[in-house]
Structure 1
Amino acid sequence: MWKTALKPRWIAGFVFAIAVSGVFVLLSQWQFGRSTQPEVPTNPATEQVRPLTDTLQPGEFFHGTDADQMVSAQGSYDPAKQLLVPGRLHDGKTGYWVVSAFAVDGAPALTGAAASPQTWIPVARGWVAEPGDAPAPPSGTLELTGRLLPSEAPVPGTAPKPGEATAVSVAELINYWEVSSYPGFVAATAEVANGVDVSAAAVQGELLPLDIGPQPPAQQINWLNLFYSLEWVVFAGFALFIWWRLVKDDYHRDLEESLEDGDEDNQHPEHNQQKVQP
């Protein structure tokens, strides 16, 4: 059969089948890429700064629609309520997030035996390479702006060092600070005092800004495009199958013709005798 496949026309047919299969594979890759693309871009509404008190309520569940929202709030820090969260990366280096408690002016006060007179929210103010590099939070009344994020889960089975927390977990932080808190935290982008931004993004120092952008929406699988991508792979294989089938049919035709020629020789043996006479 290889003899048949090496005929010039079938070599040319094989090259053509490979080219067609290559086109089908490229189409399959294109359809597969489309099947995993996010259908909805990042919501631009999250970049419009909204008051924290209008966006999230203390004591309520943190809704997924509130995540990544840029918010603002007036209030003040308590320098005694500041912790470090280790194991955080910044430009490929491992260091600490500096997290401070921010008392929100005008926030609803929670009720209950363990409730504090003021309602607070944890603020991730920036990143430092070493614990000793963490500065005290700015004093006085501030206009805080940042990205609202859901509370992280505490790391189980880990005992944090003094002055540290395992994560930016509201459940963990309120036990250290003994305050009422919002169910999320803010990654600060600006801290304005008396008209001057004193945040890590505006003041050079050991405290570096976090620069946390909006998270892209979860990728959704487009099953129709995924089906099309598999279909193109089948077509690619079918193109090679057709070439192989045509070669096989040609081989069988050659085989049948050679057998027919042999039968004709057997039916007229005198022709063979005449051929061998001197």
Structure 2
Amino acid sequence: MWKTALQPRWIAGLVFAIAVSGVFVLLSQWQFGRSTQPEVPVNPATEQVQALTKTLQPGDFFRGSVADQMVEASGTYDPAKQVLVAGRLKDGKTGYWVVTAFAVTDAPVLKGAAASPKTYIPVARGWIADPADASAPPSGVIRLTGRLLPSEAPVPNAAPEPGHASAVSVAELINAWNVSSYPAFVSATAEKSGTADVGAAAGSGLEPLSIPAQPPAEKVNWLNLFYSVEWIVFAGFALFIWWRLVKDDYRRSLEDAEDHDAGGHSHDGPEPTQPNEIQQKVQP
């Protein structure tokens, strides 16, 4: 069979089958890539700054539709309510987030025995490498702009020392601060006192966080995944068809050889002369 497969036309056929299979493999990779792409891109509306008091209410459930929304609010920082959250990376270095309680002006006041006169929201003001670099928050009325993020889960079995927190967890912080709070926190991008910039980028000793909007979680598109597998099958089928054609050609060559051998013994040489023809020739 190898003699048949090594014939020029079947070598050319193999090259063609490999080329077709390669195209099918590339199509499979393309379909597989599409099967894991996010179905919805990052919503550009999240970059349009909205009022915090109109975006989220204290005591409400944090909706996924407001996650990553850029918000603004006026209020004051409480320097007595500030913690450091360890284990935060920036530019490949591990450090701390400085998180401070921000009393939101005109925020609804919650009712209840444990409710505080003001409603706060934790604000991640910036990043530091050394806890000694943590500076006090700016005083006076601050115009805050930042990204609204969901509360983190507290680290289990962790007992942070005073002035520290295991995560930016609203549940953990309100217990430490004894305040009413929004069910989220803000990553500050700008802090202004009047017209003056008093944020991390203004030389306060903190480095800006610069947290971008997060894309939606990837979902598997099963139809594209099925097409990906289908193209792989087609690639294998192209090579199978070449092998099958070579095999059929080989079998035909064997059958032709057998027919040639069988026919050669019965038809070689002149036709034998019949007896009656001989008698007619010898009669005078």
How many angstroms apart in 1 are the aligned matches of 2:213 and 2:228? 31
How many angstroms apart in 2 are the aligned matches of 1:269 and 1:15? 43
The equivalent residue for 2:224 is 225
1:250 positional shift? 0.9
Say if 2:198 and 2:204, in contact at 8 Å, map to a contact too.
no
How many angstroms apart in 2 are the aligned matches of 1:139 and 1:182? 21
How many angstroms apart in 2 are the aligned matches of 1:170 and 1:190? 22
1:264 positional shift? 3.9
SS of equivalent to 2:164: coil
The equivalent residue for 1:209 is 208
Partner amino acid for 2:3?
K
How many angstroms apart in 2 are the aligned matches of 1:262 and 1:205? 100
The equivalent residue for 1:239 is 238
How many angstroms apart in 2 are the aligned matches of 1:41 and 1:130? 37
The equivalent residue for 1:18 is 18
How many angstroms apart in 2 are the aligned matches of 1:97 and 1:259? 87
Say if 2:135 and 2:204, in contact at 8 Å, map to a contact too.
no
How many angstroms apart in 2 are the aligned matches of 1:83 and 1:176? 10
1:232 positional shift? 1.6
The equivalent residue for 1:177 is 177
Partner amino acid for 1:184?
A
The equivalent residue for 1:55 is 55
SS of equivalent to 1:148: strand
Normalising by structure 1, we get a TM-score of 0.92
Which deviates more from structure 2 when the two are superposed, residues 252-261 or residues 98-107? 252-261
- The equivalences for 1:111-130 within 5 A come to 111-130=111-130
The equivalent residue for 1:273 is none
Which deviates more from structure 2 when the two are superposed, residues 40-49 or residues 70-79? 40-49
1:213 positional shift? 0.8
Is structure 2 residue 158 aligned with structure 1 residue 164?
Answer: no
The equivalent residue for 2:155 is 155
Question: Which segments of 5 or more consecutive residues in structure 2 lack a partner in the other structure?
Answer: 270-284
Partner amino acid for 2:213?
P
CA shift digits 1:32-70 (9 cap, x unpaired): 222222232211111111111111111111011110111
The equivalent residue for 1:6 is 6
How many angstroms apart in 2 are the aligned matches of 1:242 and 1:174? 70
1:267 positional shift? 5.4
The equivalent residue for 1:257 is 256
SS of equivalent to 2:232: helix
SS of equivalent to 1:171: helix
How many angstroms apart in 2 are the aligned matches of 1:216 and 1:140? 36
SS of equivalent to 1:143: strand
1:222 positional shift? 2.9
1:266 positional shift? 6.1
Name the Cα RMSD after superposition.
1.8
SS of equivalent to 2:207: coil
Residues 82 and 268 of structure 1: CA distance in aligned 2, closer, same or farther (over 3 Å): same
- The equivalences for 1:52-131 within 5 A come to 52-131=52-131
1:218 positional shift? 2.2
- The equivalences for 1:32-47 within 5 A come to 32-47=32-47
Say if 2:37 and 2:218, in contact at 8 Å, map to a contact too.
yes
1:115 positional shift? 1.0
The equivalent residue for 2:135 is 135
Which deviates more from structure 2 when the two are superposed, residues 222-231 or residues 147-156? 222-231
How many angstroms apart in 2 are the aligned matches of 1:15 and 1:204? 66
